[in-house]
Amino acid sequence: MITVVPHDSDWEHIADLTGDESWRAKNMWQYFQRVERCLYQEAPAPGNDDPSGHGYQGWLGTSKVDPGIALGDLDVAGTMIDLFRTCSTCLERIGSGTSPSFAPASLDVRSPLRRFAPRRD
């Protein structure tokens, strides 16, 4: 199973639709931190904030996956190849000044949570 954190724009859209400011991304991020139990990074010392934005006391264990597992699964490998082709095309179009119709004008393939936790992986 994988864990995917919604992009900031998803939370902002919900807040706009409902008119409820509590749905804003900045507010919702705290809930992911509460449920996350990061298993691949050492927790900061007690009383210190974690600049990466991870949570360590929650019930939802998160870990990194060995990408090598895709090598034996043709469906997973095919999906990854398609993803890399799409990203490559997006980056080429962005680099040339042409905004791709299937991607945002600026593509950041890193975690969308970097806005609130710049060192988050």
Domain boundaries, the chain: 1-64, 65-109
pLDDT of residue 88: 74
pLDDT in tens, 96-114: 665 555 444 444 444 444 4
pLDDT digits (tens, 9 = 90+) for 24-50: 999 998 999 999 999 999 999 888 887
The pLDDT assigned to 105 comes to: 41
In this prediction the pTM is 0.55
Average pLDDT of the chain, as a whole number: 78
Q: What kind and span of H or E run contains 95?
A: helix 74-95
Question: Cα separation of 79 and 76, whole Å?
Answer: 5
Nearest CA to 25 among 33, 35, 34, 15? 15
Assess if CATH 1.10.1220.110 describes domain 1-64. Answer: yes
